[in-house]
Structure 1
Amino acid sequence: MKISIGNDHAGPEYKKAIVEMLQANGHEVTNHGTDNSDSVDYPDFAHPVAKDITNGKADFGILICGSGNGIAMSANKHQGVRVALCWMKEIAALARQHNDANVISLPARYTSIAQAVEMVATFINTPFEGGRHQNRVDKIACK
């Protein structure tokens, strides 16, 4: 699986742990995030991840910032990108099952690294249920 990841200054350590887990499981990872804690602007990392999704260069995206909100808002501006802000693995599973989310956003200041890794694993391994949820997902994008 191809996965695109982006993070601001709140997430380098989270990204490192997540990338290690993904690569250990045979996934290809494209890194669009910063690797240090110097202050940066989250949209600069959200947009490349979203473009990887819309261009078919990635199956899933992962975004990390302090609250998970700003980076999610930025990426959700792209048609066909459905970012879910998740703070526990159950929310990550539901985002895939019911919303066909293709990008997970993680709040680094409100979750542990272990929780973030677990949420990503849950997210990428949970299928979309389709059925009654497909009609709802079809109504998300503006036309």
Structure 2
Amino acid sequence: MKIAIGSDHGGYHLKEEIKTVLADLEVEIEDVGCDCTDSVDYADYALPVAEKVAEGKADRGILICGTGLGMSISANKVKGIRCAVVTDTYSARMSREHNDANVLALGERVTGPGLAADIVKVWLQTEFAGGRHERRIGKIHEIEAKN
């Protein structure tokens, strides 16, 4: 599995922690930045991660900022992206099982590194359940097509 990962300055430290978790899981990582704690704009890092996932150049994406909110809003502007801000393992599982989320957004200022590691593991290990949820994902695609 290949994961594209990116953060702004507010998520830089957690991104580095999550990269260690991904390496331990033997996941291929493509880090699009940022590489420091100097102030940068989250959208500049959300876009390349979202595009890599949408174009099939990465299987999934992980975005990290202070809250995860700016990253998710930005990523969800890319057609084909279903980015979920997650703060607990149950939501991580449901975002995959029911919503087929292909990008995970985390907030360094709201989620500690231990919990974030657990969220990432659950999110990566959970498959889309399909079934009745496929119809709902289809409706999301219809909304994208109209707009």
**What TM-score results when the alignment is normalised by the length of structure 2?**
0.94
Which secondary structure state, in structure 2, belongs to the residue aligned with residue 49 of structure 1?
helix
Q: Distance in 1 between matches of 2:117 and 2:6?
A: 15
Partner of 1:110: 110
Cα deviation for residue 23 of structure 1 reads 1.3
Distance in 1 (CA, whole Å) between partners of 2:12 and 2:51 is 21
Structure 1 residue 33, shift from structure 2 partner: 2.0
Identity of paired residues, percent? 45
Q: Secondary structure at the match of 1:114?
A: helix
Give 1:127's aligned residue.
Answer: 127
The answer for the alignment partner of 1:18 in structure 2 is: 18
Task: Indicate whether 1:47 and 2:56 are aligned.
Answer: no
Residue 12 of structure 2 contacts residue 65 of structure 2 at CA under 8 Å; is this kept in 1?
Answer: no
Matched, 1:77 2:77: yes
Question: Which residue of 2 is the match for residue 58 of structure 1?
Answer: 58
Shift in Å, 1:35:
2.1
1:112 is aligned with what amino acid? G
Per-residue deviation, 1:106: 0.4
- Corresponding residue for residue 94 of structure 2: 94
- Indicate the RMSD between aligned Cα atoms, in angstroms: 0.8
Q: Which runs of 4+ in 1 moved over 4 A?
A: none
CA distance in 1: counterparts of 2:25 and 2:47, whole angstroms: 26
Whole-Å Cα distance in 1 between the matches of residues 79 and 101 of structure 2? Answer: 13
Aligned length in residues = 143
Tell me what 2:8 maps to: 8
TM-aligned CA deviation for residue 5 of structure 1: 0.3
Contact 2:3/2:29 (8 A) holds in 1: yes
Letter in 1 for 2:13: E
Any gaps of 5 or more consecutive residues in structure 1? none
Matches of residues 20-35 of structure 1 in structure 2 within 5 Å?
Answer: 20-35=20-35
Which ranges in structure 2 are unaligned for 5 or more consecutive residues? Answer: none
C-alpha offsets along residues 66-124 of structure 1, whole Å, 9 cap, x if unaligned? Answer: 11111111110111110001011110100000000000000111110111111111101
Counterpart AA for 2:79: Q
